[in-house]
Amino acid sequence: MNKVLLVYWPEKGNVDLVADKFIQSSKELEIQKVSILNVNKDLLEAYDNWIIGGSTVGSHVWEDADDSNRWFEFFKLLNEVDLTKKVVAFYGLGDQILYPHHFVDGLGVFQEEFEKRNANIIGQWPIDGYQFYDSDGMHNKKFYGLALDEDHQPEKTEERINGWIELIRKEFK
């Protein structure tokens, strides 16, 4: 059974809820879920397979790289780990109706931060079935990871999770 570390933020919202759904849905993966508040170098090094989950909650959160931003503290921690040995997949929560020009932009931030550290990124997901105009979280008609919309398409979440797990589990170590 593949062991996977699922690192997520924020706590107690949709990202957190979906992390539990991953654990319930993936019988073939042994997932340990950890908030970025509790992650450390030893834990990151102990796992070769990672799932990273976050929500897009406004560009200011992503562009503000000071220490108050939890994600940027996490990205700094990544500098201490050899990501060339890690297989990494992303999921992102967003709202395609209220933010159709920035749907799951956060997936693009994950992509950039892990790509520049040469991680093995897997889990790109087709944009079919979503309604939006633009997203920094996609390239060539695929999202950089699994896009989920609990605000407007919650009924699709389970099926999307199952399909995505099927895709990524074959590529995990």
Ligand X SMILES: Cc1cc2nc3c(=O)[nH]c(=O)nc-3n(C[C@H](O)[C@H](O)[C@H](O)COP(=O)(O)O)c2cc1C
Q: Which residues bind ligand X (CB under 6 A)?
A: 10, 13-15, 55-58, 93-95, 99, 102-105, 150-151
Shorter beta-carbon distance to ligand X: residue 30 or 63? 63
CA dist 7 and 162 (Å) reads 19
As measured in angstroms, the least distance from the Cβ of 104 to ligand X is: 5
Which pair of tokens denotes residue 135? Answer: 């997203």
Shorter beta-carbon distance to ligand X: residue 70 or 117? 70
Q: Is the bond preceding 10 in cis, omega lying within 30 degrees of 0?
A: yes
As measured in angstroms, the least distance from the Cβ of 6 to ligand X is: 14
Shortest CA distance to 107 belongs to which of 92, 88, 87, 124?
A: 92
Shorter beta-carbon distance to ligand X: residue 13 or 78? 13
How many Cα atoms sit within 13 Å of 9 on the Cβ side? 17
As measured in angstroms, the least distance from the Cβ of 68 to ligand X is: 16
As measured in angstroms, the least distance from the Cβ of 71 to ligand X is: 12
Shorter beta-carbon distance to ligand X: residue 47 or 71? 71
Report which DSSP code applies to 110: H
CA dist 133 and 140 (Å) reads 14
